[in-house]
Amino acid sequence: MNTKCIIFDCDGVLVDTEKIGNGILLEMAAEHGFEMNIEDAYRNFNGRNLKDCFRHIEEAIAKKLPEEFENEYRKKL
């Protein structure tokens, strides 16, 4: 067998990326006045588009997140 490529699907299989991502998102959002516990974050954010999560936070704090918020989130993630 001649193997050209092996793909590892670590997203939720080997590494619980939802826990890490939600933790980072909550930590960053708290800096802008957003409060939510991790269990509620799982219910509200898991499986959702990142932009929808940001929109949820913006609606809760009644203001826009900084323009660099997404880039900073992705760097930390």
Predicted pLDDT at 56? 98
Summarised one tens digit per residue, pLDDT across range 21-40 is 999 999 999 999 999 999 99
Predicted pLDDT at 13? 64
Domain boundaries, the chain: 17-76
Q: Is 58 helix (H, G, I), strand (E, B) or coil?
A: helix
pLDDT beneath 70: ranges in the chain: 9-15
Predicted pLDDT at 6? 82
What radius of gyration, in Å, describes the C-alpha atoms of the chain?
Answer: 15
Predicted pLDDT at 42? 94
Return d(Cα 24, Cα 1) in angstroms, integer: 42
Superfamily of domain 17-76: Putative phosphatase; domain 2 (1.10.150.240)
CB of 73 closer than 8 Å to CB of 25 = yes
pTM: 0.81
CB of 44 closer than 8 Å to CB of 77 = no
